[in-house]
Each structure stands twice: as structure tokens, then as C-alpha cells.
Amino acid sequence: MEHHLSLTFEINSGLSASGGRRTIDATDEMRGPYDDQVAFSRDAGRLAESLLSEGFTAMKIWPLDIYAAATGGHMISLEELKAGLEPVPQSARRRR
Amino acid sequence: MAELHSLWSSHAASRICRALEDVDVFWAEDPINKMNDARALADLRRQTRTPICGSETLGGLVSFRDMLAADALDIVMLDLAWCGGLTVGRKIAALAESYAKPLAPHDCTGPVTLMAGLHLALLAPTAIFQEVVRAVLSTWYRDLVTDIPILRNGMVQAPTSPGLGTALLPEVRQRKDASIRESGKAAHFPWSAQGATARTHVGVIS
């Protein structure tokens, strides 16, 4: 019997050049072809398509991290929830 | 999957996990700060249908036992480099099996840990995923070791070489950014067959 295991997928380490947690804004550019933290922040659906094309059927993203620092993680507003989760349905629609 | 990186307190985590119900994520990972709080996690699980995954941040068998005994997790994530190696990881896998919980080894700790996690996942009856990072699999993981997992159509193939199935490339030791630490003699590792040999750890800090 051939043994194999399905893969989930996480993007890069999520650390900034200074070693802190990396955040993405409109000015960030891709660092190499697989800078997927930028990719999911801009268009998670396109990232999902890219992963599917290589056979990855699961994807993990962290679109809400950017809202934690303001309150030390104690509070997230409805507007932040809606904005943060906006990438998720895009990718969910492309699930198999 | 939604990764929350242990950034949130319980109330905010609950709001997030309930919002995630609408998009039916496979799991929300490490929702609270800190993930050793079994009681808070069990409370969170009672408030949301979103499955809770944790945690690569936990160390030792007892931490995982306490989590599972408290009904604090839906999916058991572990990192072999942090939980106690394959010695402890095998026991955590057995615990997860005994609590009928899926297991998913973490990646981000380097190619050696990834290969070890892959072996564990192939062994563990309830393992469902081995996490990988596409960006590093295609870049610096390849620069450090002789072999990395072989992927075929989204499935990783079982290694066929002896041992972990990978080894540090000899040239890694010569790199200017290599940090070389010699540690351990027999007295420190009396249970190890290799205990009489000083061990060398080579890491690269970039």
C-alpha cells in the first residue's frame, strides 16, 4: 500500500525583517513568487487557485492578525471582523 | 483554516470564531492568548461551532492530556521540535487517538522537524494533515538538507530512506551565517545509544 498524507498549507513565517509580526499594507510588494502573505491580503481567491493548481486542497491564512495590536487583542469591532473576513469567502468559494 | 496566532483574549476570540461560522472554516487555530488555558478554550468551544485547533505552542505530554481531558480542542496540532520530540510526539498522537481527535503536525520549524512530523503523521491513525509552507519548501528548506518531502497532487509521499530520510547538507556547516553549537556528552544523555558522542547542532540564523 502506498502511504501518503494530505497536506495543508501555510504561507511564510509571517515575520517582518525586524523580527516582529509582519503586517501587509498597500505599499508592500511580493518578496519572491510565493510571498503568500501579500497574496492573501490582496486576493485570497487567486492564492487559492494557485495552490489548487499545484494540488494543495487546504489553505491557512490569518487575515485578522492586523486588528489585534490596537487593543492588545481584547477587542475586535464588527467593522474589523467584516473587513478581516472578506478574504475568507473568496477562498471558500474555490474549495473543492 | 483561519490562523489566529494566540493574539486574542477570550471575548474577542469568541466573536471571531462565531463570525467564522458563516464561512465554514475547517478550523480556527490558536484562538486565545495563551493556549495553555484549557478552561478558557473549553468555554470557547461551548460558544462556537467553529472547530478549535491547538496548539504548536504547547510542550510536554501533560499539557496535551490536560487539554483533551478538558474538552478544549477539536484538532490536536503539535510541533515536534517544541513538544518534546518524537519521543513525546508519539504519546501525544496516541492521546489524540484515544480522545478521537484528529492530529496535524505543524511546520515552520525547519525541514528536519517537517520530515519528523511527516513520519509521525504517517504513523498516527488520526493524523489528517501535515502542514507545509509552500514558500520555504521551494526555497531555503532545499538549501539546508539532502531531502525534503515529495509532493504529488497535494499528497506527500512516505519517505523511503532510513531514519528521518533527510540530513543536513555538509556545506551548511561552512556557511558564514551558520551558528554551530556543540552539546552533550554521555553523562547528559545516558539513555541515548549515541550518548557517548558529542553532538553538534548546526542552525542557520537569517
Which of the residues A9, A21, A65, A66 would you substitute to probe the B interface, choosing the one with the greatest number of B C-beta atoms within 10 Å?
A9
Q: What is the per-residue pLDDT across A42-84, written as a single tens digit (0 to 9) for each?
A: 778 888 888 888 888 889 999 999 999 999 999 999 999 999 9
CB of B82 closer than 8 Å to CB of B109: yes
- Enter the ipTM: 0.83
- Per-residue pLDDT of chain B (206 residues), as tens digits, is 999 999 999 999 999 999 999 989 999 999 999 999 999 999 999 999 999 999 999 999 999 999 999 999 999 999 999 999 999 999 999 999 999 999 999 998 999 999 999 999 999 999 999 999 888 888 899 999 999 999 887 788 899 999 999 999 999 999 998 888 887 655 544 545 544 444 555 555 54
| Contacts for A75 with CB less than 8 Å, ≥ 6 apart | B11, B12
Contact B151 A61 (CB under 8 A): no
Contacts of B51 in chain A (CB under 8 A): none
Contact A11 B104 (CB under 8 A): no
Contact B19 A81 (CB under 8 A): yes
CA distance A31 to B81: 27
Among candidate residues B122, B53, B129, the one with its CA nearest the CA of residue B90: B122
- Give yes or no for a cis peptide into B34 (omega within 30° of 0): yes
Packing angle of the helix pair B38-47, B61-69 (nearest 10 deg)? 40
- Cα of A68 to nearest chain B Cα, Å: 6
